[in-house]
Every structure is written in structure tokens, then in C-alpha cells.
Amino acid sequence: MHDAAGAVWLLAAAACALSGMGWLALAMPGHAAQAWGGVSAPRSLRVLRRAGACALALALGGCLAADHASMAVLTWVMLLAASAAVTAFVLAWRPRWLRHLAPWIGAGNAGRRPAPRRAKL
């Protein structure tokens, strides 16, 4: 990275990596319940998984635009690790902050109580 454009690409890649990890975390029913206080619809969880995967791919693209391939992959892996750590800390400290990553999941789609499980005989 030798110019300001590379720095902008890296900032965009970092934002994509952080959003992607947050969306992947919210795609897990347990973390979704932490963030919204209830179970999200399965369709919403699938959308979050796809959005997370696309955001991580965009983060790789941003790293590749900022630097040559060998350095870009290293930077991307480090961004993934840092984003995963930040997401884990947010889940442990303030899980409701992750709701801001998915404003399209409104009160009607999340916050429902899970259906009671029937005992298997």
C-alpha cells in the first residue's frame, strides 16, 4: 500500500470484515436470541448467513485492491481474526449492539419466544 486509495480500500475491507463477522454471529440462533431477546425466523438467519459470507468476500476484494496478492491475503486473514475477536467481545459485553447490523429484522420478525419442545419418548 503506497497511497491514500490503498488506505481507503483497507478501511472498506475492515468495515466489510467486521460487518460480515457480525452477520455470521447473528445468523446463529443463540446469538440472535442474545441480540434481540428472542428467536429469529429461519429465513432471516439464512439471509444473515449469506450477507456475512458476501461481506467477507468483499473484504478480500478490498484487500486485493489495496495490495499485491500475497500481502492482501495475509491482511485479509488478520482482518478476519480481529473482526472475530471484536464480535466475540461485543457478544460478551453488549450483544444488543449487533442489532444495528441488521435493521431489516424488525420487531415482527425477531423477539418471538421459541416454540416449546416436546419430549421424545
Terminal alpha carbon distance of the chain = 62
- Domains contained in the chain, number: 1
Weakest-pLDDT range from 46-60, 75-89, 96-110: 96-110
Residue 118 lies in a domain: no
Residue 115 lies in a domain: no
Residue 32 lies in a domain: yes
| Residue with cell string 435493521 | 103
**What is the pTM assigned to this prediction?**
0.82
pLDDT tens, 75-88?
999 999 999 999 99
**Strand residues in the chain grouped as ranges (E):** none
Residue 31 lies in a domain: yes
| Residue with cell string 449469506 | 50
* Residue numbers of the domain that contains 11: 4-101
